[in-house]
Amino acid sequence: MDHAKTVSVHLVLSHAAHAAAEVFQALRKQTSQDLQIIVVHHATQEWEAPWLAHEGPDFFALRNFRDQGFARAHNQAIALALSRWPKEILAERFVFILSPRTVLAPEALERLVDACRRDPEIALAGPTILRATLLPTEEDRCEIERTTTMESTGTSIKKSRAFFDRGAGEEQGAGPEIEEVFAPPAQGFLIRADALARASVEGEWLDPDLPSAQALFDFLWRCRVLGMRSVHVRDAIAWHQTSVPALLYGTCFLQMKNDTVGDMIRNAPWIIGGWMRGAFTLLFHPRALVTWMRSARAIPRFFRKRRYVHPLFF
């Protein structure tokens, strides 16, 4: 792997690779090809790289012999990327965490990187995420139907500590070219490599004790607590294939790791209400209850990891 590559794009595939064909083709068409792609997939998946080395960006596949889970797979990719870059250039290198359901416009990565280069204080940058639909074709392939309806311009947090997408459901329109946000969209975001190094907790970035959606929001919240600045870059565009929203029933675990005691006290009425809604949700989703109980066994580890973000616990 050439450490001179500016951007390392990371995907985790937990389904057939042909469903992500549009995602790979979009990466191949990026206006800046100063990038490498790391894909983590499982041994049960038989597939080949979507292009030869001389026909597109550098492509690296990490194949696990068993399903390591979403968080561990991303941690593998991040550790590999950071190990290949000298520490003195980390501030000028970037990792893009990409959902296999997110298709980037040709200029997306270039515009995100350009925004970060213009302002060294920016640690994370996210594109405008528009909604898309995955349509089957007669050739047993899939096509993306793109819309101008926004799915996210960033991640925000309520007083109940529930996360939501800024701008969801609105039509794409004018706005600030670069706007500060609580966190970038979980559907895809760029982060400086040196910021990743700072955000590591016990050699991990995404917590394997949390389900995939919670692991991403936990990481983004941690970056916020550590003082990392996040922005939305209006003209960097991506389309996300709409799916069933994740059940964020485990935000109590994220609060254990990231929230301040003062904020928990101030927002107690909303937080308690959120917990009650989460408990009600678990009653009607047995699989979610099993996942919640699995995460609950990690509560001692959550409090231990909290001290990396809040050394005085508060």
DSSP collapsed to 3 states, 162-194: CEEECCCCCECCCCCCEEEECECCCCEEEEEHH
> In which band, very low, low, confident or very high, does the pLDDT at 18 lie, cut at 50, 70 and 90?
low
Statement: residue 196 has pLDDT above 70:
yes
Q: What is the mean pLDDT of residues 206-210?
A: 95
d(CA 182, CA 129) in angstroms, rounded, equals 16
The pLDDT confidence band at residue 281, using thresholds 50, 70 and 90, is confident
Residue linked to tokens 């399903």: 67
The CA–CA distances, whole Å, from 160 to 22, 214, 236, 277, 295 equal 37, 15, 30, 10, 20
pLDDT at position 79, please?
Answer: 95
Q: Is the pLDDT confidence value at 141 over 80? A: no
Contact 271, 230 (CB under 8 A): no
Tens of pLDDT, residue by residue over 248-258, are: 555 889 999 99
How far apart (Å, rounded) are the C-alpha atoms in residues 91 and 46?
A: 36
Residue 251 confidence (pLDDT): 82
The pLDDT tens digits for 71-129 are 999 999 999 999 989 999 999 999 999 999 999 999 999 999 999 999 999 999 999 99
Q: What is the mean pLDDT of residues 172-182?
A: 91
Query: Average per-residue pLDDT in the chain?
Result: 87
Q: Which domains does the chain have, with CATH numbers?
A: 7-241 (3.90.550.10), 251-309 (no CATH)
**Six-digit token pair at 251?**
């935000």
Cβ 59 vs Cβ 39: under 8 Å = yes
pLDDT digits (tens, 9 = 90+) for 20-64: 788 888 999 999 989 999 999 875 555 565 554 445 678 888 888
- Whether pTM > 0.85 for this model: the answer is yes
Radius of gyration, alpha carbons of the chain: 19
Long-range (24+ apart) CB contacts under 8 A made by 272-275 are 273/160, 274/158, 274/160, 274/161, 274/162
